[in-house]
Amino acid sequence: MAPYTSVLGPMRTPTDFRMAPWVYWEQQMLYKQYDDMQNGVWEPTARQFYTGNASVAKEQISAAGGFDETINRAEDVDLAYRMADQGVKFVFNPSAIGYHYADRSFASWMRTPYLYGRYDVVFARDKGHSWLLHNVATEFQSRHPLVQMLARFCISRKMLYTMVIGIMQRAAAVSANLQMANIAQYAYSGIFNLCHYQGIADELGDRQQFLQLIRSPQ
């Protein structure tokens, strides 16, 4: 089969829609990805294949086996990994704009990175994408030192984890109300990262396996 190209487009914030602060944070993180891809900081990959705004030939989706219906988060990225294995190339087109009316509760928002963390381990362990755990360990080293410290101390320590999440949630809410956007953004980033790492730890099996992973990029 000849190689195919998948086109990825930005999901922009509608001007007539007010997002919850935590969803706004997520949207800002997407904008950073778009800017980096557009400016050539890094090339788009399967990890940016968000089906909210992406296109690819139908026959390539079929050839890759379609969506795995047993997955309830990151099913688009799972499909993209399999398409990439078959030679699909991913390109970013900043002009292919879609508008993202994203609306979710805070609890639902926190569950998203948690599930992404679990599926990083599932995809590495069960689907042959072993490089994913290397990426997790390597990316951990680039996180803010405070995020690294909180992850090392809080992951799989339920009372401490819950307390720290609660403190950051309150700090984010107060900062957002006071229009202190930078503080709110830092707090939501901390929450998102902790939830993601907790998902990884839970799927790995325990705290010690998580600590071993982040110590040893291989």
- Asked if residue 168 has pLDDT above 70, the reply is yes
DSSP summary character for residue 99:
E
Tokens of 86: 């078959």
For the chain, domains (ranges, CATH) are 1-103 (3.90.550.10), 104-218 (no CATH)
What's the average model confidence in pLDDT over 176-183? 80
Q: Residue 51: what residue type?
A: T
Mean pLDDT taken over the chain: 91
Give 46-99 pLDDT, tens digit per residue.
999 988 899 999 999 999 999 999 988 889 999 999 999 999 999 999 999 999
Q: For residue 2, is pLDDT > 60?
A: no
CB 41 within 8 A of CB 92: no
Nearest residue to 20 via CA among 111, 78, 104: 104
The secondary element (H helix, E strand) that includes residue 11 is: strand 11-12
Average pLDDT over every residue of 115-136: 92
Per-residue confidence (pLDDT) for residue 215, from 0 to 100: 87
Res. 175: pLDDT tops 90: no
